[in-house]
Amino acid sequence: MKIMKKRLLYLFMLISSVSLFMSCSDDDDVKYPVDSELAGAYKGTMDVYYVGVSTPIASDMVQKVYISKASDTAVKLELRNFTITVAGAELLIGDITVEGMVKVLSGAVTGNIKATKIFIKDSIIDGNIDSDSMIDIIGKSEIKGNIKGGDIVINGRCKGNIVASEHLKLLERAMIRGDLQTKLIRIEDGAILEGYLKMI
């Protein structure tokens, strides 16, 4: 029972396949038309995972995601009255709200992505990626655009310049074509870099 309670706390860190498609310019002051074009309820399916477990505890759940405006450059995602069945028992979790983090799992995005935290796995992104803190790019991901963040981890293919204000980590399957700027860097054996490195 203790294990179940502990895992339920981790549900609030669940990963669902949510892709946000939006186009924008290079102007940092651009305001997205969230209220007029993005806000609303979107019906789809989702998988739910315990943190650190690769097999989902629930698959293809029919769920509505509610999108509303969080700021001029961000949206708020909500799951309302969220219920999940675990070990034959139906558990009502309640509402789950996600602000400031974007996860793209096995998807494709044409356009820029800007969020507090960004996690990309097995996805193709054609646009710039901008985060106030963490960016993780793993799996068979391909990025065509510039990347800017605080702590950045890359284990995919990237074509564009990368600026990490704190720490940049290139894992063994990273392939970078572009210039790098960072305060600290770690490059694993197998990583490929075609470009210049500038320490800041």
The predicted pLDDT at position 149 comes to 95
The predicted pLDDT at position 148 comes to 96
Which residues 6+ apart lie within 8 Å of 117 measured at CB?
100, 101, 102, 131, 133, 134, 135
Selection from 10, 94, 5, 14 nearest residue 47 by Cα: 14
The predicted pLDDT at position 32 comes to 52
Residues of the chain with pLDDT under 70: 1-37, 50-51, 73-74, 86-87, 91-100
Residues recorded for the chain: 200
Q: Which two tokens stand for residue 184?
A: 């600290």
Pairing of strands 74-86, 58-71: antiparallel
The predicted pLDDT at position 22 comes to 36
CA 23 to chain centre: 17
Q: Give backbone dihedrals phi and psi of 146, rounded to 5 degrees, phi first.
A: -80, 150
pLDDT by residue (tens digit) across 108-136?
A: 777 788 778 889 999 888 889 988 889 99
By the 10 Å C-beta count (0-12 exposed, 13-18 middle, 19+ buried), 198 is classed as exposed
Q: pLDDT over 70 for what percent of the chain?
A: 72
> What pTM does this model have?
0.57
